[in-house]
């Protein structure tokens, strides 16, 4: 299996998926959405795979979310449709597979990239990691399940602050909030991740059942919430503020939102 935007490797029960567009901080293109979903389906079907590792190439970024260069105001398309067809199936695939998904957050995780980390079962972070619910900075709201996972993981108060202010949560604070299991120096992330993944891959059959019972306990309405996020993002994507937010990002300036 050969991919252009991700690396995919299976070894000793662990399937490792690396988002691989480091020059664009591993931001999502349509092709990356397709390839990530394909690899998740492959590993889920493969009896030899017991655990996934999801990470990003390079030390700067795990993933900067949707590639905003694909989204200039003149060719932005329907954001709701983009979520339904490209992103939500990935989030559901991660929650629905019985394989444990370990996220190695190697750098900044922003927007859809931040929420992708939240969909995983466990997160281990490098000291460089930052979690940014960046949507508000470009005039959008949370998607990819962020509005569902974040309040459940760290509580509504802090989650609301992250969504409304769009400020980064650094690795140590993420540890304090219980968002990540461990913070390690960047140079040790690969080895620490491998050790944890191999431990998970050697776990009993009940590991998948543990995941299922936690899904049922906490995530029963995930599909409906993903659909709701798609409908609210559709509205946000039609606003002048979103166009201004994306333009300001491209032009490397602060957006001048008008509340419209
Ligand atoms: C990028 C990006 C990027 C393209 C950095 N795209 N190039 C789902 C469905 C449908 C539609 C819409 O959205 C969604 C969900 C979303 O994900 S919306 C949110 C999209 N993501 C963001 O708003 C985050 C945008 N990026 C940032 O805020 C910063 O780049 C972060 C905080 C991630 C990192 O900051 P720095 O470390 O200071 O790096 P930088 O900003 O200098 O970026 C480095 C390069 O990467 C730069 O390119 P250049 O050619 O100037 O070197 C950026 O333009 C590029 N890049 N994120 N999302």
Blockwise average pLDDT, block size 10, the chain, 260 residues: 94 98 97 98 98 97 95 81 98 98 98 98 98 98 98 98 98 98 98 98 97 97 98 97 96 97
Compute the 3-state secondary structure of the chain and give helix, strand, coil in percent, each to the nearest 5.
55, 15, 30
Q: What is the pTM (predicted TM-score) of this model? A: 0.98
The residue with tokens 């293109």 is 29
Locate the ligand 1 atom nearest the alpha carbon of residue 143 and give its number.
15
Which conformational region is residue 178 in: left (phi greater than 0), alpha (psi within -120 to 50 degrees), or beta?
A: left
pLDDT tens-digit readout, 223-244: 999 999 999 999 999 999 999 9
**Residue 69 CA to ligand 1 centre (angstroms):** 9
DSSP state of 139: T
Backbone φ and ψ for 246, nearest 5 degrees, come out as -70, -40
The pLDDT assigned to 231 comes to 98
The pLDDT assigned to 189 comes to 98
C-alpha 25/C-alpha 106 separation (Å) is 11
Cα 142 to Cα 50, 214, 239: the distances in Å are 30, 23, 15
Atom 27 (ligand 1) nearest CA? 64
The pLDDT assigned to 14 comes to 98
Residues with CB under 6 A from ligand 1: 24-25, 27, 64-69, 71, 79, 82-83, 87, 108, 110-112, 132, 134-135, 137-138, 140, 143, 249
């Amino acid at each position: 299996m050969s991919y252009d935007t991700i690396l995919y490797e299976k070894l000793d029960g662990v399937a490792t998926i690396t988002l691989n567009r480091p020059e664009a901080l591993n931001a999502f293109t349509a092709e990356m959405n397709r390839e990530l979903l394909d690899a998740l389906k492959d590993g889920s079907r493969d009896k030899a795979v017991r655990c996934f590792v999801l990470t990003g190439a390079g030390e700067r970024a795990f993933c900067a979310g949707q590639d905003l260069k694909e989204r200039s105001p003149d060719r932005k398309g329907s954001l709701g449709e983009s979520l339904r067809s490209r992103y939500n199936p990935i989030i559901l695939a991660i929650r629905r597979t019985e394989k444990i998904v370990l996220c190695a957050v190697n750098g900044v995780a922003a927007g859809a990239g931040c929420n992708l980390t939240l969909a995983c079962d466990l997160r281990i972070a490098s000291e460089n990691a930052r979690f940014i619910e960046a949507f508000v900075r470009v005039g959008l709201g949370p998607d990819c399940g962020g509005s569902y996972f974040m309040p459940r993981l760290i509580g509504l108060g802090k989650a609301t602050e992250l969504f409304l202010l769009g400020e980064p949560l650094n690795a140590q604070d993420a540890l304090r909030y219980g968002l990540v299991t461990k913070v390690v120096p960047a140079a040790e992330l690969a080895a620490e991740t491998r050790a944890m993944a191999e431990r998970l891959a050697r776990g009993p059959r009940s590991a998948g059942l543990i995941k299922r019972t936690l899904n049922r306990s906490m995530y029963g309405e995930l599909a409906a919430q993903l659909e709701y996020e798609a409908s609210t993002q559709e509205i946000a994507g039609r606003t002048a503020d979103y166009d201004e937010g994306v333009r300001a990002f491209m032009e490397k300036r602060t957006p001048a939102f008008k509340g419209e």
